[in-house]
Amino acid sequence: MPTQQEQLYLKTINDLEKRIADQDPYEILGSSAIIRKLFLDDHPLVDQINRECKFKLQFNVCLPTPLPPGFPKPDIYSVQDGLDPATSRPGKQVSQLTRDQFFKVAVLAINGKEYTIRDVILFEANIMGGVHAGMPKSEAEIILKTLNDQMSIGGYASSLRQLKAIGRVVLKALDPLTQNIKQKTN
């Protein structure tokens, strides 16, 4: 019989799968709350579940290609689907990252200011309404909100759409833990 925490974890994973596959911006936005709950809250659900198993989570991503020396930085840069090896361009090198490394990967840059995976998740969760509907306060939040208001990628605000690739990478990294819990509960 699965514990309450294991049931919560499995339902959370199922919810994340549905939300990142959905086309509705509200559903995608909700994935920020789920990823925050799994990894970024004070007592992350993944840590509670993984306490016994002690799986070493590996996040497989395609890192942005560095610019050649002397090449000017673009005003706007967004990784989008290029983060996920399954949707990145063919032949792109895959890097295996730890959890800490993964959340520090820059996936968006505006006028030289880089936004990490952690920044994007917390912005969508705490400013855009994934958890709280708030107002951008810092200069970085204001710049990102302004960009999202003025430009879309595939019909979505840039940081919102980025959640889809982040979610896919998270699900793949958590798959060994998820399968272990499913086997225990069957």
How do residues 116-145 score in pLDDT, each as one tens digit?
999 999 999 999 999 999 999 999 999 999
Please give the model's pTM, rounded to 2 decimal places. 0.95
Residue-level pLDDT at 162: 97
- Band of the pLDDT at 10, cuts 50, 70, 90? very high
Average pLDDT across the chain, whole number: 94
Residue-level pLDDT at 56: 95
Residue-level pLDDT at 89: 92
Could you report the per-residue pLDDT of 71-102, keeping only the tens digit for each?
Answer: 888 899 999 999 999 999 998 999 999 999 99
Cα distance between residue 78 and residue 153, in whole Å: 9
Q: How many domains does the chain have?
A: 1
Residue-level pLDDT at 29: 98
Q: Which residue has the higher pLDDT, 111 or 120?
A: 120
Query: Domain span at residue 118?
Result: 4-185
